[in-house]
Every structure is written in C-alpha cells, then in structure tokens.
Chain A
Amino acid sequence: MAEDLQHPDEADTQLLATLRSVVQRVDPVPAEVEEAARASYTWRTVDAELAELSYDSLLDDDRLAGVRGDGTARTLTFEGSAFSVEVEVSEDGDGRRLLGQIVPPSAATIEIRHSGGVLRVGADEVGRFSAGGVAAGPMSLRCQVEGADGPTLDTTWTTV
C-alpha cells in the first residue's frame, strides 16, 4: 500500500478503503441475523401495554451479584400501569429458568416469548410463576391478570 507522505488525508482515505473491503469480506452481517431482524416484525402488537425495565441487577453497581458463575440469580423488574412483574433469571443448563412474581399479587396467565418459541404458564393466586427451559437470548413476557378484561402488559424485550 503506497502511503502518500505529502497528503496524510489521502493515506487515511486509502487505509479506510482497504479496511472497508477487508471487513466486508471477513465480517459481514450473517444472513440469518438479518433474516431474524426481518422476522422480528411478526412480534408487532398494537394493543398491549409495554412495561419498561425499571430495574436490572446486572446494571446495578451496588450489587456484586448477577455475574455468571457466582450462583446468584439476576433480577429484573418491569413496571406497568396496573401491575409490575419481577423476574429472577438463573442458569438452567444452556438456557434459563425464570421465577416470577406479579405485583400486587394476583393470578395471571403468562406467555413467555423467547428465541426457542413460546411457553405458557400460570401465576398462582399470590402471583408466583416459574418456567424452565427458556432459551438464552431475547425474552418478553405477556402477562394478563385473571378476570374479565384483566389488564395485560408485554415486558420490553430483554436479553437473558
């Protein structure tokens, strides 16, 4: 590569051009990643309330836990207007186990959407639910409190 000592900008431009062709050859976006991105559109909903992640122990600097291998579960809290969902995530082989709580406590149906598919579990009368075999990766819970027209929320997609 001829470096042009008179014009550093020229050399920079050339280096960038070389870098571009190298990166495009070696590390393009994998086809399946782009396909998965397109396919995400099927999760589009217009009606359910979105519950944001109000707490993630992984980002809580005051906690020393939540790091893989130390045996402590990660906790997530999703806040909706009518209720909140707290979830403890622990490792379950290559996947994840969830231990959840509806707050305030209430029976509910829970749909766990994850990269392995969809799991349906029930939360008992004090709002507790659990599920194993959740794939590591993006996860969202659709929770509907029991009863006629029980409020529903979708938790924001989070990588577990």
Chain B
Amino acid sequence: MSPAEDGLLVRAAAEGDKAAWDALVKRFSGLVWSIARSHRLGPADAADVSQTAWLRLVENLGRIRDPDRVGAWLATTSRNECLRIIRRSGRQVPTDLDADADLEAEDALAVPVDAGLLAGERDAELWRAFSAISERCQGLLRLLITDPPPSYEEVGALLDMPVGSIGPTRARCLDHLRRKAGITGAAGGSQ
C-alpha cells in the first residue's frame, strides 16, 4: 500500500464508499492500537483512543488537507488523545526516549500472560522487558514490527522523527530491550 493508495481510499470513503473505509481501518487499526498501548494505556483507555481517533477521521474525511498522509494524521490524532487520557487520569505525560520506565510494568500494560500463549519463559521475559522500556521506544518498535512494515520515510512521518535518526534510535531501543530482558548484546551494545 502506497500513500497514493491511502489517499484514494480516503477520497472514496469521503464519497460514501464503505468498503474503502473498511480498508482504511484494516490498514491502520494496528497503528492506532500500538500508539495507545505504547503510551501504557490499558485496554479500555486504548479502546477509547481508537474509537475517538476513527470518529475524528470520519468527521474529517472530506477536509483532510493531504489525504495521502492519512496514516500520519491518524497517528497524530491518536497521540493527542493518548495525552488527553493520560492527563485525565492524572499520570505524568511521558517525554524522553532515554527515560526507561524503571518501574514495574503497570497493570495497564501487564497483559495477563496466558502461559499457553507464549512459547516459553523467554518470550514472557521479552514481553515484560518490552513493557518496561520507554514509551518512545515502544512506539518506534511497535511501528517497525507492524505488518507490512512501513518504510523509514513513513516512520519518520508517523512519529515526527528525522529519517536519519530512525536507524540509530532503533538500535538503541533494541539495546534497551536486550538489557531489560537480560539478553547478552551483540557487539557490546550501545551505539
């Protein structure tokens, strides 16, 4: 899917094409969910973020300035709703890439891990470690693992990051993840 195709879907949905709308949902619902969850929102709050973001897209279908960039529009809208919901609950708004959580994975993100779900203790450890790295790292890594994976250009647009910083940040975030998971790193670790 290219941005031009995304733009076509937006225009079609604006004209009343429900199938185009469903295609947009299929394409970006993972992104919206990832953004909410990487802000450490529990399933109910993440569902609120998702619902509000999609409703705001519906009301703006005919007026988005750049329909090709609807993914970035959804990402920004989702992030703004996350910040609102975080403030609503009185939590601190997250800031810094390097500020690892260094706290127990909160109940919100500690999805009850069904032993049957995860192939072994190693994966459970990886999930716990992932839940404990910074929000910015979670956001970046969740984006990089979506299927199909976005290009660095798209990631830059979605996360408002310079394209050149994505590679080094990806490496740094994976090192954080390794440290938290107790995996011995490749080539000594940090960049």
Residues of A participating in the B interface, judged by any CB pair closer than 8 Å: 1, 3-5, 7-8, 10-12, 15-16, 18-30, 32-34, 36-38, 40-41, 43-46, 50, 56, 58-59, 66-69, 74, 115, 136-138, 140, 154, 156-159
A30 to B43, CA, bound (A): 9
Residues of B participating in the A interface, judged by any CB pair closer than 8 Å: 13, 16, 18, 21-22, 25-26, 29-30, 32-33, 37, 43, 46-52, 54-63, 81, 83-85, 87-90, 111, 113, 117-118, 122-123, 126-127, 130, 141-142, 144-145, 147, 170-171, 174, 177-178, 183-187
Q: Which residues of B contact A1 (CB under 8 A)?
A: 122, 183
Q: Which residues of A contact B51 (CB under 8 A)?
A: 33, 36-37, 40, 115, 137-138
How far does the Cβ of A12 sit from chain B's closest Cβ, in whole Å?
A: 5
Q: Which residues of A contact B85 (CB under 8 A)?
A: 159
A16 to B155, CA, bound (A): 16
* B118–A34 touching, CB < 8 Å: no
Interface residues of B, dominant DSSP: helix
Which residue of chain B has its CB nearest to the CB of A3? B186
Q: Which residues of A contact B33 (CB under 8 A)?
A: 27, 29, 33
Cross-interface CB contact of A5 among B16, B88, B142, B187, cutoff 8 Å: B187
* B58–A56 touching, CB < 8 Å: no
* B87–A58 touching, CB < 8 Å: yes
Which residue of chain B has its CB nearest to the CB of A15? B174
